[in-house]
A and B are shown apart, each in its own frame.
Chain A
Amino acid sequence: MVDIGMGNYGIYVWVCFGLTLIIVVLSDWRARVRHKRVYRDIEVRIKALEERE
């Protein structure tokens, strides 16, 4: 049986793993959001220019 409590250290260990998961997920999410935003801004600008031409 796995000891999730890990003696008295479970809280420290699980908080560290949880924090890691949050930071990895957030880093990837922020990178995706920024890419989409930059792409959309460029797309809007280029299409507006095309229509004007």
Chain B
Amino acid sequence: MWKFFHRLASPPHFYRLAATLIPWLMFPGLLLLAWGSYNGLFVAPPDYQQGDAYRIIYVHVPAAYLSMMAYMFMAIGGGIGLIWRMKLAHAVAAAAAPIGAAFTFLALATGSIWGRPMWGTWWEWGDPRLTSELILLFLYFGYMALRSSIDDIAKADKASAVLALVGVVNVVIVHYSVEWWSSLHQGQTILKKGGPAMDPEMLQPLLAMILGFTLIFGALLARRVRTEVLYRERRTRWVRKMVLAPEGGR
């Protein structure tokens, strides 16, 4: 078991493994997105209250879920890097940040667009879910700005890992804000006690979209971690050997 993790954490091994994994994550992810989008847009019936506007959930919910999951990757990666000094864990954390920021922006934008016809406003400052999600976006920006402001990679890893760990508090707030405080945002739908509060015809495309987004996130993360590993290991023998090999190692 430990041997497997030790091997996985080896930069050259991970670099090659990630290259193999990317198409296996990306193509099924795109297929699921295509199937989920078609069924979500054209097959699932309209909502009895929100009409067709509810179809925004098929992109909003997966984006919002990934905005938090990417942050957890960042924080757990940072934590593992700090405790066990695993270089690959810091590379994963650094690679997750721009992807998480993109999905957080998408969650905020689609939520705002949904809010206009449903709540009559693009934005509500007093709403805990909206505000905590915006803070999450700023945490991503802060994390990336902190990393790029420190030239020494080891120091940047440590400082950004601490910031990522502290910011986990906000992820908990984002998740539970609709239960803890009164919010314009609707409550839990899928993870609700007693099962999902959705018709299966609406739920199946949503689950396909969530899985599709997760696979695409995995592919994007693997691609970015490869780049991080390559950059960090640029002076090592294995990178030199790979670059000079006739077939290369892109």
Contacts and interface: CB of A to CB of B under 8 A. Distances in A.
Interface string A10-44: 10110111011001101110111011101100110
Interface in B205-250: 216, 219-220, 223-224, 226-227, 230-231, 234, 239-240, 243-244, 250
A10 B63 CA distance: 20
B99 interface: yes
Given A19-B109, A20-B106, A46-B244, A13 B55 contact: yes
Given A9-B52, A17-B37, A23-B106, A39 B114 contact: no
Contacts of B102: 23, 26-27
A15 B231 CA distance: 37
B72 to A, nearest CB: 18
A13 B53 CA distance: 6
B60 interface: yes
B52 A27 contact: no
Contact of B227 (A24, A31, A50): A31
B244 A12 contact: no
B56 interface: yes
SS class, residues of chain B in contact with chain A: helix
B110 A35 contact: no
Interface string B126-170: 000000000000000000000000000000000000000000000
Interface in B182-223: 216, 219-220, 223
Given A16-B56, A42-B243, A7 B223 contact: no
A38 B98 CA distance: 17
A32 B26 CA distance: 13
A12 B54 CA distance: 10
B105 A23 contact: yes
Contacts of A50: 244
A46 B52 contact: no
A27 B113 contact: no
A35 B109 CA distance: 28
Given A9-B52, A20-B59, 10 more contacts: A9-B53, A9-B117, A13-B52, A17-B37, A28-B223, A34-B224, A35-B226, A35-B250, A38-B227, A50-B244
Give the 5 A-B CB pairs with smallest separation, nearest first: A6-B52, A9-B53, A20-B59, A31-B223, A35-B227
Interface of A: 2-3, 6-10, 12-13, 15-17, 19-20, 23-24, 26-28, 30-32, 34-36, 38-39, 42-43, 45-47, 50
